[in-house]
Amino acid sequence: MNWTRKDLIAARDLSREEIEHILDQAAHFEEVGEREVKKVPALRGKTLVNLFIEPSTRTRTSFELAAHRLSADVINITATISSITKGETLKDTAKNLQALHADIIVIRHSSAGAARFLADRLAVSVINAGDGAHEHPTQALLDAYTIRKKKGRVAGLNVTILGDILYSRVARSNIHVLTKLGARVTLAGPSTLVPRVFEEMGCRVCYNVEEAIADADVINLLRIQHERQRQTMFPSIGEYASIFGLTKERFARTKPDAMIMHPGPINRGVEIDSDLADCERSVILQQVTHGLAVRMAALYLCGSVQPAAEAGKA
Amino acid sequence: MNWTRKDLIAARDLSREEIEHILDQAAHFEEVGEREVKKVPALRGKTLVNLFIEPSTRTRTSFELAAHRLSADVINITATISSITKGETLKDTAKNLQALHADIIVIRHSSAGAARFLADRLAVSVINAGDGAHEHPTQALLDAYTIRKKKGRVAGLNVTILGDILYSRVARSNIHVLTKLGARVTLAGPSTLVPRVFEEMGCRVCYNVEEAIADADVINLLRIQHERQRQTMFPSIGEYASIFGLTKERFARTKPDAMIMHPGPINRGVEIDSDLADCERSVILQQVTHGLAVRMAALYLCGSVQPAAEAGKA
Amino acid sequence: MNWTRKDLIAARDLSREEIEHILDQAAHFEEVGEREVKKVPALRGKTLVNLFIEPSTRTRTSFELAAHRLSADVINITATISSITKGETLKDTAKNLQALHADIIVIRHSSAGAARFLADRLAVSVINAGDGAHEHPTQALLDAYTIRKKKGRVAGLNVTILGDILYSRVARSNIHVLTKLGARVTLAGPSTLVPRVFEEMGCRVCYNVEEAIADADVINLLRIQHERQRQTMFPSIGEYASIFGLTKERFARTKPDAMIMHPGPINRGVEIDSDLADCERSVILQQVTHGLAVRMAALYLCGSVQPAAEAGKA
């Protein structure tokens, strides 16, 4: 296929064909990571701006490394040092970056819709690195990449996502990618955080962890956000760990080849038993490695679309 | 001409010939920005240090991108993480950067004179990126570049600078550059912030906005600094907007080709009507683009002067 | 010799032969710093991560520049923006960086043992940039490099280290390197901060400054840490300056070729008279320059050891 999107905003927008195209491109780039010199000149002379209005070391680092591998230059802008604090609007900040000939803006923002807002107003490429509780498409793509690589396929697999689904952009993006690729998705967690409305997205909703993971081929655990904990909707950390945490006992009753995933950073002893996080059936660190390849693919594909085709904008 | 300055500290120091030389060099670099690979090897193997003791995302980003375009390496040092907080003197910090073989130090500092202080004590190049209320020469040069490019010349034009002149390094640097290039400069704003003493710099001082902009070819609006607002000298934001802000009504009574400039970041609805900021006669974003070319020129010219010629220093 | 260490954690681990090998390699790289283009492609395509859990502009900048000179890519991660603040363990953070194909992790941490902890658990290279009061090996190596270069040798020289020895990682690393190279080391300072137990490391302990520096070929002054000052063990700053500071009077009674060193940043007027810091017998800024060459050597040697040889780990 011929890739035509300058932006990557939401997994919801992508066709099955587009998703597979990104994953195939990522597979090519994964090989580059095994060479002695791990760089390709694909984006040489281009500039990526990491515009992180909400902090994230891991995702920023992953995009920065992906850009280096593609020989792009990288500028990091974080909220605390940004002129955003001087009262300038997000749009003005972004228009300025475009005026400075940035080629790709990777944005993380605490507000849902921030990435789309920019993509609609800029001629340059915009990649969503997480916008509020909306979407985090590269995370879902790297999760799908990992499943496809380890299991040989995604279609027909049972994938259970466990945790705070309601407020999770990772969950939303995963649901879109996985259902498009033909997986059966089960959502589980406290009933306050896993509303039945998700059934409309084609998922099974289940409030019993044992039942939710019994026939799972993949168990994807979401991080419990200590820092965002909503008292009224959420049990205590200890309560969560005992009712919803992936313990050895629970994991022992799953399919013998069930695979453990987690977007990180993990809370050992909360959503996952510490030994399980490091066991052979955990692919948590491989997800990180695949994230580099998937982000290289996203930057390369979107960054290679001619802005000329978008001349109507700006 | 043969460029001989290792430093760019103040527009006041520059001859008309030097100013034009920088602008001509910038015009050459602007073309580079339109190529597929936007880099030239002019400063390959050289290191630029962005020493920002006062934070500024835009100016830092602009210099960082300019350095990337010239193939230089960039190190960012900001006040909050600097050893300056450990009580070391500015001079010692800078001497250390020189000992680390930095080739160019771009400094922003809240104290007037900081850039000159370093330039006099170091063999390496020093570029002033704003020192207190003193000067911000690359901003004035990019403003002049923009006027020359859009109007075809600077000499003989009427340029009105509107706002807090007294505390503005942008205003000071602009006055020097514009008068040297032969423009007629009018300063306007609240009388507490536009003292008559500026007439000695060859400017017209005017307290009536309508009168100040009536025959202007260029209107340069300065940012109202919410964060530095001085209660005793300054009306409220609302009052400022109504008395001195560039509204549609006021702009409708200017010359039909009057051009709007602003160093950014803009306060929409305060010093400028939001629609005017985005209208066809606003060149605010083009100023940002030109800033990149002008900073490339400044880095290239100063960074190419042999430190040997300065052997007496240090 | 054939360098086989993937990590540089402690001067204590190094043999005399290894120390000399690093210094010889650094001498080679120092020449690179005098070329027009100061880069070599030794680590092209490799990625260095500066993981600074305790802030340090100078050391971070020195490693960043050293990596640029070797054509490596650099990612900076500082504690305040790190996911460490989200409760992830240091080990998980480091495992993630390894999963992102970082090749070298330079770590500064406020806890003694942090660098070793990572080195033992990762296949990638780990360089200790200072861990609590334990070690700071590249500082000691650059100090030895400076002595060897300026004095022609280290063996047989009298080196006096003056200041807060007890809490100083610089002192510990220096003692190991200097004694291995055959210098005679004297430690001096307030008795609460220079316990007699250091005699077991082969040093002379001396509480009288005049006596400690009388026959010194090299006087290495440690920084008085205002910010960490321990009230109960430490005199006031003024008291320290008068009893233990290197004043002109004291320095006049040393050997005529005694050389002054300091790891920086210096407190002028506290541990050293301001004029002495800048005098001809001070090599403080040359230490900074040599630090770049020594860090290039450390990165190059450790970064070139094949992780395959460490396959048992991770």
The pLDDT tens digits of the residues spanning C53-110 come to 988 889 999 999 999 999 999 999 986 544 454 567 889 999 999 999 999 999 999 8
Q: Can you read off the two tokens belonging to residue A121?
A: 């107003």
Residue C148, Cα to own-chain centre: how many angstroms? Answer: 16
Q: Can you read off the two tokens belonging to residue B52?
A: 């920002």
CB contact under 8 A, A101 and B264: no
Q: Is the pLDDT of residue C128 over 50?
A: yes
CB contact under 8 A, A65 and C99: no
Residue of C nearest to B87 (CA): C267
Mean pLDDT of B192-215: 96
In this predicted structure, what is the pLDDT of residue A87?
A: 61
CB contact under 8 A, A83 and B265: yes
What phi and psi values does residue B293 have, to the nearest 5 degrees?
-65, -40
| Overall residue count recorded for chain C in this entry | 314
Catalytic residue set of C: 58-59, 86, 108, 136
CB contact under 8 A, A88 and B264: yes
Residue of A nearest to C306 (CA): A36
Is the confidence metric ipTM above 0.90 for this complex? Answer: yes
- Encode pLDDT of C236-268 as tens digits: 888 889 999 999 999 999 999 999 999 999 999
Whether chain A has a CB inside 8 Å of the CB on B265: the answer is: yes
C-facing residues of A in 204-243 (CB < 8 A) are 226-227
In this predicted structure, what is the pLDDT of residue B37?
A: 81
What phi and psi values does residue B6 have, to the nearest 5 degrees?
-80, -20
**Cis status of the peptide bond prior to C265, with omega within 30 of 0:** yes
Whether chain B has a CB inside 8 Å of the CB on C267: the answer is: yes
**Cis status of the peptide bond prior to B265, with omega within 30 of 0:** yes
B151 as an active site residue: the answer is no
List own/partner pairs for A197-206 with CB under 8 A and 24 or more apart.
Answer: A198/A165, A201/A175, A201/A176, A202/A175, A203/A175, A203/A179
Report the C-alpha gap between A7 and A4 in whole angstroms.
9
In this predicted structure, what is the pLDDT of residue B81?
A: 43
Nearest to C92 among A35, A64, A266 (CB): A266
| Overall residue count recorded for chain B in this entry | 314
User: Percent of chain B having pLDDT more than 90?
Assistant: 81
Q: Chain A closest CA to C307's CA: distance in Å?
A: 12
Contacts of C47 in chain A (CB under 8 A): 38, 65, 68
pLDDT averaged over every residue in chain B: 92
Q: Is C203 left (phi over 0), alpha (psi -120 to 50) or beta?
A: beta
Residue of B nearest to C57 (CA): B82
Which of C170, C163, C187 lies closest to C136 in space, CA to CA? Answer: C170
Higher-confidence residue: A310 or B200?
Answer: B200
Side chain identity, residue B104: I
- Encode pLDDT of C137-165 as tens digits: 999 999 999 999 999 999 999 999 999 99
Contacts of A67 in chain B (CB under 8 A): none
A268 bridge partner residues: A272
In this predicted structure, what is the pLDDT of residue A25?
A: 98
- Encode pLDDT of B258-268 as tens digits: 999 999 999 99
Continuous H helices in chain A: 16-32, 57-69, 90-99, 114-121, 137-151, 169-180, 209-214, 237-244, 248-252, 274-277, 284-303
Cβ pairs B/C, distance under 8 A? 68
Which of A248, C98, C67 lies closest to B47 in space, CA to CA? Answer: C67
| Best mutation target, B57, B268, B275, to test chain A (most A CBs within 10 A) | B57
**Which of A200-204, B163-167, C30-34, C213-217 is the least confident region?**
C30-34
Residue C153 makes CB contacts below 8 A (sequence gap 6+) with: none
CB contact under 8 A, A61 and C92: no
Higher-confidence residue: C135 or B192?
Answer: C135
Residue of B nearest to C277 (CA): B92
Q: Is the pLDDT of residue C225 over 50?
A: yes
In this predicted structure, what is the pLDDT of residue A228?
A: 56
Whether chain A has a CB inside 8 Å of the CB on B289: the answer is: yes
List own/partner pairs for A136-139 with CB under 8 A and 24 or more apart.
Answer: A136/A169, A136/A170, A136/A173, A137/A8, A137/A9, A137/A10, A137/A11, A137/A14, A137/A173, A137/A177, A137/A298, A138/A8, A138/A291, A138/A294, A138/A295, A138/A298, A139/A169, A139/A170, A139/A173, A139/A174, A139/A263, A139/A291
Side chain identity, residue C35: R
Nearest to C100 among A39, A226, A289 (CB): A289
Which of B184, B136, B155 lies closest to B294 in space, CA to CA? Answer: B136
CB contact under 8 A, C265 and B47: no
| Best mutation target, A43, A61, A284, A286, to test chain C (most C CBs within 10 A) | A61
CB contact under 8 A, A88 and B227: no
Q: Chain B closest CA to C123's CA: distance in Å?
A: 28
What pTM was estimated for this model as a whole? 0.94
- Encode pLDDT of C261-304 as tens digits: 999 999 999 999 999 999 999 999 999 999 999 999 999 999 99
In this predicted structure, what is the pLDDT of residue B224?
A: 82
Whether chain B has a CB inside 8 Å of the CB on A308: the answer is: no
Whether chain B has a CB inside 8 Å of the CB on C200: the answer is: no
Catalytic residue set of A: 58-59, 86, 108, 136
Contacts of A44 in chain B (CB under 8 A): 37, 39
CB contact under 8 A, B266 and A47: no
CB contact under 8 A, A285 and C86: no
Residue C68, Cα to own-chain centre: how many angstroms? Answer: 20
CB C208 within 8 A of CB C248: no
Task: Point out the residues of chain A with pLDDT beneath 50.
Answer: 81-83, 85, 309-314
DSSP class of residue A116?
A: H
In this predicted structure, what is the pLDDT of residue A34?
A: 80
Which of C74, A226, C279, C174 lies closest to B47 in space, CA to CA? Answer: C74
Whether chain C has a CB inside 8 Å of the CB on B44: the answer is: yes
Contacts of C45 in chain A (CB under 8 A): 35-39
C-facing residues of A in 104-163 (CB < 8 A) are none
- Encode pLDDT of B9-61 as tens digits: 999 999 999 999 999 999 999 988 788 788 999 999 999 999 999 888 899 99
- Domains along chain A? 11-134+291-310 (3.40.50.1370), 137-288 (3.40.50.1370)
Residue of A nearest to B228 (CA): A86
Report the C-alpha gap between C67 and C70 in whole angstroms.
5
Contacts of C35 in chain B (CB under 8 A): 45
In this predicted structure, what is the pLDDT of residue A311?
A: 42
CB B1 within 8 A of CB B306: no
In this predicted structure, what is the pLDDT of residue A13?
A: 98
In this predicted structure, what is the pLDDT of residue B230?
A: 56
How far apart, in Å, are the Cα atoms of C156 and each of C146, C244, C257?
Answer: 15, 25, 15
Report the C-alpha gap between B236 and B189 in whole angstroms.
13
Report the C-alpha gap between C76 and A105 in whole angstroms.
19
Q: Chain B closest CA to A46's CA: distance in Å?
A: 7
Whether chain C has a CB inside 8 Å of the CB on B308: the answer is: no
CB contact under 8 A, C101 and A289: yes
Catalytic residue among B6, B46, B60, B136: B136
DSSP track, B189-219: S-TTTS-GGGGGGT-EEES-HHHHHHT-SEE
CB contact under 8 A, C288 and B73: no
In this predicted structure, what is the pLDDT of residue A224?
A: 82
Contacts of B47 in chain C (CB under 8 A): 38, 65, 68
CB contact under 8 A, C37 and B47: no
Whether chain A has a CB inside 8 Å of the CB on B56: the answer is: yes
Whether chain A has a CB inside 8 Å of the CB on C44: the answer is: yes
- Encode pLDDT of B296-310 as tens digits: 999 999 999 976 544
